[in-house]
Amino acid sequence: MNRRRFFESVSLGGAALRASRALGGPQCSSTPIDGRPSFPTPPRVDYFRREELEKLVNTSVPIDGIGFQAVCINFPAWHPSPAQEKYFGRGWTEWETLKRAKPLFDGHLQPKRPLWGYYNEADPIWAEREIELAASSGIYAFLVDFYWHEGLMWYHEQLEQGFLRAPNRQKLRFAIMWANHDWTNDYPVPESGQGAVLYPQTYSDADMDRLADYLIEHYMREPNYWQIDGQPVLGIYDVLHLLRSFGEQKLRRALDRMKDHAARAGLKGMHLQASSIYVPGQTALRKLGFDSATHYHPFAGGPPGKTSEYAAAVRKSIMSWRDTASKLELPYFPDCPSGWDDSPREGARAHVYIHRSPDQFESFLLAAKYFSAERRTNPPVIFLSSWNEWTEDHRLLPDDVYGYSYLEAVRRQFTPR
């Protein structure tokens, strides 16, 4: 694809170029805080400008020399897994859902295609290439979605057959986020808007112990497992789901036992992180035994069949960081999504964030750095959603529209200068 066609194909880029020509060419409209010029945006396009940082975060706080940890969410659905093949056939992967995506409106860029082709991430040769790209782009660790339903697992093959067998695995840390939710058939979601539950998420005391033992034996003892304060990190996606099943006191005992299992295995303990679903100021995270919190993809979902501006979601997310952090009694790590478009799964019911662009994403990252520095968060973790969420269209891996531009933004913000 030639350069002109590339830029005019991008949802914001084509409109911006046409508006720029109408104005007589790209003339500098202002100078952001990093000294680089910015250019006028077309009419009726919302855009998150660097000047807004000064209104939303304290940009007087020094950020040079801080060892920010960019931790990227990893959705390992891009290889065959028996629990999925049971329903969808031998060799099935979620690539099939992505390939069937259709544009919903003029300028809607679907389907996105991986620039490196439709890969198998459980292949250690692929994993080696993926690790090299992530590490060279300034990514500190992957937080990998992990599916455990009373001992039934899927998608763990990415780690056990691919990542952990890659010869360069030590270049990148990893940790587990237990995605403890019902697993539904969203490939695609039926017109009713509710996919059938394929694997319900259930719990028991004994199974919580088995889960802890599996994670310790297979992952947490690995030398490149991500740790905070010397403790291996375990993210838990849906805290409220656990609370509804156990109740507060019983859940605290179950989580304490998980930490005890780690200690008995020779580890310092276990750092529990509330990853997404909880109510700030109401869910007693510290009392339950959690050590930190984040909010995985703060603007996911949204009203079906609608579009929203990416810039507006960025502003809302930044404002919510401070509000959420003020209601917690433990460290809070911001998350910066690169976008959201679940039309490969949802079709016409999708919610699509429009006018996203790599430079706005980079400003988002910069805002997270200032937020973290002002709060003196230790460690200074910043989450990125996501490395490879292709069917929700928030990922950093290169595609045939944006190329490496999102990873370049990450590299500029998180590699030492």
Residue type, 154: W
Helix or strand (DSSP H, E) at 352: strand 351-354
In sequence order, the 6+-apart residues with CB closer than 8 A to the CB of 142 are 71, 72, 73, 74, 134, 163, 172, 173, 174, 175, 387
In this predicted structure, the answer to whether residue 292 has a pLDDT above a threshold of 60 is yes
- What are the tokens at 103? 């544009």
Q: Enter the DSSP assignment of 396.
A: -
Encode 54-82: b = buried (16+ Cβ within 10 Å), e = exposed.
eebbebeeeeeeeebbbbbbbbbbbbebe
In this predicted structure, the answer to whether residue 283 has a pLDDT above a threshold of 90 is yes
Averaged pLDDT score across all residues of the chain: 90
Tell me the C-alpha distance between 394 and 387, whole Å. 8
R_g over Cα of the chain: 21
Q: Tell me what pLDDT residue 42 has.
A: 67
pLDDT in tens, 363-382: 999 999 999 999 999 999 99
Give pTM, 2 decimals: 0.91
Using the Cα atoms of residue 101, residue 103, residue 108 and residue 113 in order, give the sign of their dihedral: positive
pLDDT of residue 156: 98
Q: Are the CB atoms for 99 and 111 separated by under 8 Å? A: yes
User: What pLDDT is attached to residue 41?
Assistant: 63
Mean pLDDT calculated for residue range 147-151: 96
Is residue 311 scored above 90 in pLDDT? yes
Mean pLDDT of 181-186: 96
Q: What percent of the chain has pLDDT over 70?
A: 90
Tell me the pLDDT tens digit for each residue of 8-54: 333 343 333 233 323 233 233 333 345 444 445 667 789 998 889 89
Cβ atoms of residues 56 and 319 within 8 Å? yes
* Confidence category of residue 228, pLDDT binned at 50, 70, 90: very high
Cα gap 251→348, rounded to integer Å: 39
pLDDT at 226 over 90: yes
Task: Kindly indicate the confidence band of residue 194, based on its pLDDT and cuts at 50, 70 and 90.
Answer: confident
- Euclidean distance between CA atoms 305 and 157, whole angstroms: 34
In this prediction, what percent of the chain has a pLDDT beyond 90? 85
Q: If you count DSSP H runs as helices and E runs as strands, how many of each does the chain have, helices first?
A: 15, 17
Q: Are the C-beta atoms of 262 and 232 separated by less than 8 Å?
A: yes
Q: Look at residue 3 in the predicted model and tell me its pLDDT.
A: 31
Which of 143, 178, 187, 144 shows the shortest CA–CA distance to 342?
187
Q: Closest by alpha carbon to 148, among 196, 201, 197?
A: 201
Domains and CATH numbers, the chain: 68-414 (3.20.20.80)
List of residues 6+ apart from 90 with CB closer than 8 A: 80
